[in-house]
Structure formats: C-alpha cells, structure tokens
Structure 1
Amino acid sequence: MSEPNKQIHHPPTKECLSRLKKEFLEISKNPIDNILVCPHKENILEWHYVLLGSINTPYEGGVFYGQLIFNYDFPLSPPSIIMTTPSGRFETNKRICLSNSDYHKESWLPSWTVGGILIGLLSFMNENEPTAGSILTTNDEKRLLASKSMEFNKKNKTFCDLFPYLIE
C-alpha cells in the first residue's frame, strides 16, 4: 500500500491555507460531538483527530486517534485518512478507503468540509461494511481495544502534545 500523499515538496496553495484556517476556526467555534481536531503546529497539511467512541456501540469509552493528511492543493483534492489507535475496525497506520478520501479522487467534491469528513469517518466506524484499510473483529475485541485505547495513545508523543487535556 502506498504512503499517504505527503506533499512536503510543495507548499500549500493560498486557497489551501485559507480553507484549512477557515475550517479549523469553524470547528473551534462549533465543536462536533465526539470529534476533536487539531492541525499540527508545524504543518497545516497534517491534522490530528480524536474520535470518542459512540454511546451504545462497541467503541463506547474509547479514544481513537488518527490523522488527516491534506494535499498542497486542498480543497481541489481529498485528504488521506489514517487511524493510529487500534480500534478493531481499521488497520492502524494505513490509509482508509472512504468516498471522501484520497482513494476516490474521482468522486471528491471541493465543497466537502473537514468536519464532514470526520463525521463520515465516525459514522463509517460504527458500521461493518468492508473497505480498504478496514478489518473484521468481534464486538468483544472492539470493546477490549476501546478500553485500552487511552493507554495506547498515552505512548504517542504527538497525541500527548496535541491533546494534553485528554490525558488523565
């Protein structure tokens, strides 16, 4: 599997910078239930997210960390979506295939927002439909991984730096 689209050779376009700043401001003003997001301090093309496990799902109580990697020309092209925390739903550190990810550039719409991408990811996490980057496990395995998710995340320096308020 190829690596995410890391376009570090190309600086972000003015439209990309403007759009990502606008999106972060919007999410900051209007937080999304069960979703936290923070751009990397040194690279606006690298956003870090946390999905809080939805109530009445095997993920309840879990804290699932991952990244959105944007191309330098966002919103003209979709981001890569990666999950870092073991969830029992997605392979770790692998690109996830969703209709609004870089797997489907042909169906990408520049009007899609970062918030919408993450809401879609959380919704898809709660389903069992297979896709590239997903895995099949039992609900018991998912519950066990949810219960261990914070301990896993605490070992990740970037997670701790960007989401210190989540660490007990």
Structure 2
Amino acid sequence: MEKKYNMRSPGVKRLMREAIELKDPTTMFAAQPLEENLFEWHFTILGPQGTDYDSGLYHGRIILPTEYPMKPPSIIFLTPNGRFELHQKICLSASSYHPELWQPSWSIRTVLLAMIGFMPTEGVGAIGSLEVPTEERKRLARRSAEWVCSVCGVCNKDALLPSVEGESHEEAMAEAADIVTQMAFKSEEEVKAQKRQLAQSASPPKIETQEPSQLRQRPVPTVTTPTDTETIPPQEPPTDQTLFTPIIQNTVAPPQRETGQNSLILIWLIIFALIVLIARRVYLHLASPE
C-alpha cells in the first residue's frame, strides 16, 4: 500500500500511523483501511452497555478527505441499528455552535468512541437519525452479530475481541461521553444547508440596477412655450451699472509686458495734442488783423 501513496503527504503519514495503532481490535471497536484505498476505513463498534444497543455490533465506513486531519471524516452505517439511517453519509464536526472547530488532534479512535457515545442519544428529528421503538432497537442489536459486510467480508461477531464476563467499559465510556460534548453528528444535507446560509450571510448586499429599457421609460420634463394669448412682461433696459458690472467683474488685469506699449501710445497722443494746439495758435495769429 505504501507504494501507491505519496509518503511525504501529512495525511498519508498520519493514516499509516493510525493503521498501525489500530491493527489489533479491542472488545469495543475495530477499524482498518481497505487494502486498495487508504482513505476508506471499515469499522465495527460495540453497542454501549445498559442501553437499547447493549451487545449490538454495528459495522460501517469512514470516508476520510485528502486534507485529513485538517478536515473531519464522514461516517456511513451499514448494519441496521435503529439509530442512524443506513448508507446515509453523516458528517462529523465539532460543536454545532462552532462547526469549524474540528481539532486535527482528534483521530479515528476518537471518531469510534464518539459514535459509541452518540448511539444512546436522541436524534431530535435530525436528518439521518431514526426514531425507532425500543423493542425494535433491541431486536436489531440481537441480530447484528450475524451481519456480514459485502465489501470487506467481515462478520460482526468475528470483528472484535470477545468480551470477558463482568468486564466493564466505564473508563472508555466516560471518554466517549466527554467527546460527545465536543462533537455533533450532522447529515450531509445539514452541512450543505449550513454552508449555503454562511455564504448568504457573507455575501455583500445586492445593488439594484435598472435595465436600459427602464431608463428609457423615465418621464421627460416638458418645456412650455408661451401662447399667443399669453403676454411676456417687458424687460427693463439694462442700466449703466448692469452694462459695466459684468465687464468690470470679468476684466482681467493686462499682463505687465503690455505696460510699455500703452505708455508709448499715451506719449504720442500728448505730442499730437500739442501740435494741434500750436497749429491753432499760429492760425489765430495769422488770421488776426495787424
């Protein structure tokens, strides 16, 4: 199996190590990967003592994502049990209040104990859970020992070590009860619905836009023109103030380079005025009688 996988992958190395740790079955659970697929494991768990599932043996599949252990596995029960639907993928996550808090430190052993701990709990109408009478669950528990998996060929009665008479699993069940308080079983449909809800809450609000056809349908303001019967009030002629005010306001100071030209024109005007004055005096002098 090692030749088929990238041994540098953290997930592959983790699963290889867990397969070695779980190679020997216990009196409560057993789990091993399929020979052709390291990411699919088959398990068998013992029903908790003192419950409707007492002495029951339940077989199923564990589907691990390639991102394991960063993402949680999914569980599928194959043996009729009266608690979970068969062939229904159940996603195992952390608390329902914080489903993203799956802990990478949790292992397949943790998942097995969690399933044992969840067996006697109520489904409370969750998708993937069953509401079956107590007698039916006990009947299924008695018949479960002869159940054989059509995929891996394991018979439930041969999957675990035989229980010793009077043996108690109090320590393991206490650990399983503690795990139950940190995890929640959810069906695949519930997880998808939760992801859709999170995506909708995280999406930005939609901005309503109008189609071009709607823009063309906007009313155009009409301009009214005076009719023959209407009289236009006479406008007063502009005064000197109104004539010169805009000119004064809009007058821009001439550039300094034009100052010399204006001075030259003024000098020529003064010279021309003096010539006219002198010419007039000469004319008057000549015209007067001696």
TM tier relative to shorter chain: 0.7 to 0.9
Matches of 1:76 and 1:165, distance apart in 2:
33
Which one of 13, 17, 30 corresponds to residue 36 of structure 1? 30
The residue that corresponds to 1:96 in the other structure is 90
Matched residue SS, 2:23: helix
The residue that corresponds to 2:9 in the other structure is 14
**8 Å contact 1:89–1:135 — kept in the other structure?**
yes
**8 Å contact 1:83–1:93 — kept in the other structure?**
yes
The residue that corresponds to 2:76 in the other structure is 82
Structure 1 residues 98 and 14, CA gap change in structure 2 (3 angstroms): closer
Give the letter for the 2:158 counterpart: Y
Query: Is the counterpart of residue 158 in structure 1 residue 157 in structure 2?
Result: no
Question: What's the Cα RMSD here?
Answer: 2.8
Matches of 2:62 and 2:133, distance apart in 1:
27
- Contiguous gaps of at least 5 residues in structure 1: 1-9
**8 Å contact 2:77–2:85 — kept in the other structure?**
yes
Query: TM-score, structure 2 length as denominator?
Result: 0.47
The residue that corresponds to 1:5 in the other structure is none
- Contiguous gaps of at least 5 residues in structure 2: 161-290
Query: TM-score, structure 1 length as denominator?
Result: 0.78
Give the letter for the 2:21 counterpart: E
Matches of 1:94 and 1:47, distance apart in 2:
16
Matches of 2:80 and 2:155, distance apart in 1:
19
Give the structure with higher Rg (CA).
Answer: 2
Higher helix fraction (1 or 2): 2
The residue that corresponds to 1:148 in the other structure is 143
Matched residue SS, 1:39: strand
The residue that corresponds to 1:139 in the other structure is 134
Give the letter for the 2:104 counterpart: P
The residue that corresponds to 1:6 in the other structure is none
Matches of 1:164 and 1:69, distance apart in 2:
23
The residue that corresponds to 1:126 in the other structure is 120
Which structure is richer in relative contact order (CA contacts within 8 A, separation 6 or more)?
1
